[in-house]
Amino acid sequence: MQTFYKHITAISLALIVLFTTFSFTVNMHYCGDTLVDTAIFGKAKSCGMEMKKMENNPFKKCNVTKTDCCNEKQIVVTAQDELKIANASFIVGNQLFFTAVINTYANHFQIAPTQVLFKFNYIPPLVIKDIQQLDEVYLI
């Protein structure tokens, strides 16, 4: 049963490391105030109503501008790029202290073996002779 829990713990820690180093982008296309399409890892499909920029714009002379009703939004979720490996270095005195504490507590909390103290089906032997009367020892 312990190996099952160890495997589950190892898999969950591996998934945590994977998801913390995983980055992605969410692209959204709005037409007016309504969301038309959402895409992860790619470009969102447009509704086909966005205005195309032309160099020979006929409205340029009139100072009339048309506003585009479409809007693109992009959400970028960045993750951790570098993993730092922690070096655990102990001084020899600390190592001796930790091993002494672990050994003390491991020996202190040992589980004693269970012993049968009473036998309920025990039948005592039959008394054949009264030894006190034979030795003439009487307790007063």
State residue 78's pLDDT score: 82
Give first-to-last CA distance, the chain, whole Å: 64
pLDDT tens for each residue of 88-99: 666 667 788 888
State residue 13's pLDDT score: 92
**What is the overall mean pLDDT for the chain?**
78
Higher pLDDT pick, 66 / 76: 76
Would you kindly state where each structural domain of the chain is located, as residue ranges?
A: 1-112
Classify 38 as helix, strand or coil: strand
> Residues 11-15: what's their mean pLDDT?
93
The pTM (predicted TM-score) of the whole model is 0.41
Confidence class of residue 27 from pLDDT cuts 50, 70 and 90? very high
Q: What is the DSSP string of 40-69?
A: ESSPPPP-S-PPPP-SS-GGGTTT--PPP-
Tell me the residue length of the chain: 140
36-40, 96-100, 110-114, 135-139: which range is least confident on average? 110-114
State residue 90's pLDDT score: 62
Confidence class of residue 14 from pLDDT cuts 50, 70 and 90? very high
